[in-house]
Amino acid sequence: MHLCAGVPLILRRAYNNVNSHSLYCGKYLFRFGNAIRPAFGRPPDRMSMSMSATGGELRSYAAAAEEGRCLVELPDSTEIVVRGRDASNYLHRLCSADIRPLNPGEGLPAFFLDARGRAVALVDIYRHRDGFELASARGQSGTILDHLQRYRIREEVIFEDVSAQRRQFRLVGKGAAARLQALLEASRASSLSPDAEIRSVCDSRSGDHGTFPIGGNPVTVRCLRRGDWDAFALVCKFEHGDDLVRSAAACGVVAAPLPVWDAVRIELGLPEFGRDISPDCLGPEVSPDPRAISTAKGCYLGQETVARLEAHGHLNRKLRGLLVGSEIPAPGTELLLENRPVGRVTSAVYSPCRGQGVGLAMVRREAWDAGTVLVWQKGEAVVTDLPMTPWY
């Protein structure tokens, strides 16, 4: 009854938005708009960017990346809002991570698994005072919403797809934290955020997040730090994206093509669903962070398989990093050890800072030790730990 009473207000608010989005309430899915973004400011298609950028073109971004001055837009990233009285308990029962200790302003990665422990989606879960935000790769909204809705019975929880309402960027490189601090301080005149709060988000741990004005508009900053790597997600309303880009440019930040982020993503060891993760993958095979799968929390969907692997079994394969030289293998390329197939490449791209190709691959146990040299049709690939050792 509480949900039904709130639906008209939610629907009116959603309908008045410029960009289309979807809203799940109970068993019903409401869609608004025609799901077409305006042509102005729309980023190029991911695949066309990845295929068109050559090593020579990407090499020109090496200096900017080394100085933390690369801003890359991720087109059509998935963003889902979860709220309602039962939101926390419901997400906790469905995801593989222990989200109960999260405070507002904190987050962590998690899997949604099926009953066999196979990956349905990999998401970053961010806690807010009034609910949660789920961030995932491009085109995952339908899969995630269907999974969330399938197991809901009487819980008071609402799932809202806001992917088309937002633009998402990555600020990456050696000095990304210092560059972000300069960007936030440049906008501090219109901000109520104290210096300590700005420094906190720049020096925070992975998953921490906060909202700050940049270019006169609210921008959510999410820390993606792994080990010695600095990377930040900047998320804003779609109509504010151009203002964010202009403000960043005024601080010396360079707009870079998507393959620059792909190189950093691979070196960070951040797999992407649909590229590095497929529905036949077990969560532990592709987990990017120890926090993504809890071995101590109570029951959740897929836990039996995970617990069995933890207690009695072992993984036969695992996602590993690759250094591949100047030739870049295509996804699906077979990797050999002593003339035996031991794995396949899932992602690979030229790294402008390393001056060579980097990749992710699903590799069998006998070949996944760091330093193992594998062979593919055009050269060799050296297995690395994840995240990779930073180039700096």
Q: Which range, 169-178, 251-260, 332-341, is most confident?
A: 332-341
Is the model's pLDDT at 11 over the cut of 60?
no
Distance (Å, rounded) from C-alpha 100 to C-alpha 119? 21
Query: Both tokens of residue 251?
Result: 């601080």
pLDDT at 194 over 60: no
pLDDT band at 195 (very low <50, low <70, confident <90, very high): low
Long-range contacts from 2-10, C-beta under 8 angstroms, 24+ separation:
2/85, 2/156, 3/84, 3/156, 3/158, 10/158
Query: Is the model more confident about 28 or about 379?
Result: 379
CB atoms within 10 A of CB 150: 10
Closest alpha carbon to 374 in 326, 329, 350, 342? 342
Question: What pLDDT digit, counting tens, does each position of 222-241 carry?
Answer: 999 887 778 999 999 999 99
Query: What is the predicted pLDDT for the residue at 54?
Result: 60
Q: Which residue has the tokens 């949900």?
A: 3
Domains of the chain: 2-40+76-162 (3.30.1360.120), 46-75+166-257 (3.30.1360.120), 266-384 (2.40.30.110)
From edge to edge, which strands make up the β-sheet containing 231-237? Answer: 209-214, 217-223, 231-237, 166-172, 70-74, 254-256
Q: Which amino acid is at 40?
A: F
For the chain, give percent helix, strand, coil, nearest 5: 30, 35, 35
Query: What pTM, to 2 d.p., does this model score?
Result: 0.85
What pLDDT shows up at residue 296?
Answer: 86
